[in-house]
């Protein structure tokens, strides 16, 4: 059977499975593919669970298929790292031409982050594309863009991942940057005109609610400050435990604040799941308050989307639209400076829309205005000085300066921000810092690969004798964005 499955279709069974911990990994049940009609499975479950000797795990295994997701990449000998990555591109390639359980169908093949996954992930795919460019795999770059476009055209946005339970949220909007990357690779400027409608649809998703917005209020992903300025925030439409981390969320919800589940889900839309960046007390996940924040990274990415829409409008002689999007981009550029630049500390911070003040968290997303060349020379110099002093360690750039135990915090170094840091420093002529970012992180990746034969999702930037830990699941064989960023850095 290839019927599309929504978790709510099997909610009672799903709830019992996740609470009983019959699988070590909560993701197992979200990825299950029904072998029979869901109504039949539900009926049989309700009838059989009351019987003596009923075995829940046996019932599930006899009624669902579990697509092979756990690959273990074994090499007879330790290949040079670049050769290993070349083989990984094929081993991490998936297709989903038909609906299988919660897995959404997609028109083209794609590269997954690691061995645990069968689904396509949004912002991971941009950093995977960086490596595909180096490898000369232009067709796969085009496939990723086609899949993003298909999702935007069908759902209005690119979900966090290509599964039904991710249809309440997106991830950092990188589609316009993907088009830039493909245009740089192929020199085909008409790529912008071809996907103009897709760009507009994604923009409409992020701006949904703007017409009804009052000062000092937020609707979905749009914020209007008390001054009447428009900004954006991360958001998720649902206020329920995440199916893929169901029991973890239920347990964390004890003694938590209002809308805890929606705050947790909204942090997943940011890609930073999880970080002290989102916590009111900087320590405990129960104090998560991302719904009260508007973020520097998201607003920089949406500036890029507006700027790209202005460019694609100009290429098609759509003067009215060009003026509109140019105006939106110009306005947002001013707002980025007004709300996120902190003169006192000399860096960019997120903005608390309820307290009308900048947040205290020091985090690596302050790089975005430099990555997209929105900072002036003095701002860039200040951020670069802080980056070098507080974030750059022997194994790369850390995500934050606070050690909370969360995976998007000190001392972990994540691939995306090594590239953002390298490019940001290059953009403003800080070549020495850029080279140190590149060399420190790439050396760390090479060391871990030499010791384990694997490329990891994240690395410990401080203790270069260990492998980074933390997070909601074990380290995976892969890892997509590490492969991509390693290749692009080594070729720059």
Q: Is 200 a catalytic residue?
A: no
Q: Which of 258, 232, 111 is nearest to 170 (CA)?
A: 232
Which one is catalytic: 244, 252, 273, 322?
273
Q: Is 388 a catalytic residue?
A: no
Distance, in Å, from the CA atom of 348 to the CA atom of 393, rounded to the nearest integer, reads 20
Which one is catalytic: 31, 252, 269, 457?
457
Contacts of 60 (CB under 8 A, 6+ apart): 13, 17, 22, 29, 32
Distance, in Å, from the CA atom of 406 to the CA atom of 18, rounded to the nearest integer, reads 23
Distance, in Å, from the CA atom of 80 to the CA atom of 87, rounded to the nearest integer, reads 11
Q: Which residues make beta-bridge pairs with 358?
A: 351
How is residue 286 written in tokens?
Answer: 């129960």
Residues with catalytic roles: 273, 457
């Amino acid at each position: 059977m290839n019927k599309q499955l929504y978790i709510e279709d099997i909610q009672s069974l799903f709830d019992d499975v996740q609470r009983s911990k019959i699988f070590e990994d909560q993701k197992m049940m979200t990825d299950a593919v029904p072998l029979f009609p869901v109504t039949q499975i539900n009926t049989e479950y309700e009838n059989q669970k009351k019987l003596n000797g009923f075995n829940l795990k046996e019932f599930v295994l006899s009624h669902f298929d579990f697509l092979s997701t756990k690959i273990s990449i074994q090499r007879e000998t330790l290949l040079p790292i670049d050769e290993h990555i070349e083989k990984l591109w094929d081993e991490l390639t998936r297709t989903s031409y038909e609906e299988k359980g919660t897995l959404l169908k997609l028109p083209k093949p794609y590269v997954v982050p690691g061995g645990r996954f069968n689904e396509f992930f949004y912002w991971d795919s941009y950093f995977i594309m960086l490596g595909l460019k180096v490898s000369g795999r232009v067709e796969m770059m085009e496939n990723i863009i086609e899949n993003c476009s298909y999702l935007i055209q069908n759902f209005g946005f690119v979900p966090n991942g290509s599964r039904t339970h991710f249809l309440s949220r997106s991830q950092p909007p990188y589609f316009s940057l993907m088009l830039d990357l493909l245009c740089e690779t192929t020199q085909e400027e008409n790529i912008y005109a071809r996907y103009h409608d897709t760009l507009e649809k994604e923009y409409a998703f992020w701006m949904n609610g703007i017409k009804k917005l009052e000062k000092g209020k937020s609707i979905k992903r749009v914020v209007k400050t008390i001054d009447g300025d428009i900004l954006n925030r991360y958001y998720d439409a649902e206020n329920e435990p995440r199916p893929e981390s169901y029991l973890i969320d239920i347990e964390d919800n004890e003694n938590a604040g209002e809308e805890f589940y929606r705050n947790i889900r909204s942090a997943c839309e940011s890609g930073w799941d999880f970080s002290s960046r989102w916590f009111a007390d900087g320590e405990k996940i129960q104090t998560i308050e991302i719904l009260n924040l508007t973020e520097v990274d998201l607003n920089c990415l949406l500036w890029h989307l507006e700027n790209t829409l202005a460019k694609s409008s100009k290429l098609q002689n759509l003067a009215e639209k060009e003026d509109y999007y140019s105006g939106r981009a110009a306005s947002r550029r001013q707002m980025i400076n007004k709300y996120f630049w902190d003169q006192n500390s000399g860096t960019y911070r997120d903005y608390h829309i309820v307290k009308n003040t900048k947040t205290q968290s020091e985090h690596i997303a302050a790089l975005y205005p430099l990555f997209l060349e929105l900072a002036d020379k003095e701002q860039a110099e200040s951020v670069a000085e802080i980056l070098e002093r507080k974030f750059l360690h022997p194994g790369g750039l850390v995500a934050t300066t606070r050690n909370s135990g969360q995976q998007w915090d000190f001392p972990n170094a994540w691939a995306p921000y090594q590239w953002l840091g390298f490019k940001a420093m290059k953009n403003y002529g800080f070549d020495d810092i850029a080279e140190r970012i590149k060399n420190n992180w790439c050396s760390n990746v090479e060391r871990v690969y030499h010791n384990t034969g694997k490329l990891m999702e994240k690395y410990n930037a401080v203790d270069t004798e260990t492998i980074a830990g933390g997070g909601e699941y074990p380290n995976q064989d892969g890892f997509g964005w590490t492969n991509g960023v390693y290749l692009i850095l080594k070729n720059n």
